[in-house]
Structure formats: structure tokens, C-alpha cells
Amino acid sequence: MRSTYLLCYDICDDKRLKKVFKTIRRRGDHLQYSIFECQLSQSELLALREELRAIINYAHDQVMFVNLGPSEGRGERVIETLGLPYSPIDLPCFVV
């Protein structure tokens, strides 16, 4: 069974930031700067965690996994904002 996760990260080094972005981008939808929505099975979640463990610096970086529950039966995605409206990011993100 797949679950939907909100992944948020705060990475202090540009090189690690680029690697984390690319790693998560392969598995999820880029919502906003350092926020992704991913639908993952338990084995995919474990594999992603292992990949990220090999990249981040535990003393300086953070990756947060927020479990939003089962993907099946969730209905349509609802994103509400305050301020600027949400717009999907379809353009590539470049970290310089």
C-alpha cells in the first residue's frame, strides 16, 4: 500500500542541497522550494531514507517526512494558501 508523504528539507551546503533535490525529485512532485509530495510504498520510503542518509550532514541538515496517510481513496489534492496563490512548478529548478 502506498502512502502520501510531504517531504521538506533544510540543507546548509549547496552541493548537498542539489543532491537532495535531485534524489527527491525522482520520486515526487515539487510543490514549493524545498517541499515535495511523494507517494511511496514502505520499501520505497526506506530506500529513499537510505539514499538521503548518505547525502546529508546530520549536524547541519534536516529532512522531514510528514505522513499524510494512504494514497488510495484520498480524493483530489487540495492545497490552500494565504498570500500568493499556489501554482505547480513545471520548470526545472537550478541550484547555483
Question: Mean per-residue pLDDT for 5-29?
Answer: 95
Q: Is 15 exposed, middle or buried (0-12, 13-18, 19+ CB in 10 A)?
A: exposed
Spatial distance between the Cα atoms of 57 and 84, rounded to a whole number of angstroms:
33
User: Cell 547541519 appears where?
Assistant: 60
Tens-digit pLDDT profile for residues 43-89 = 999 999 999 999 999 999 999 999 988 888 766 666 666 667 767 66
> What domains are there in the chain, each with its CATH number?
3-70 (3.30.70.240)
Nearest CA among 79, 78, 70 for reference residue 32: 79
pTM score of the predicted model: 0.80
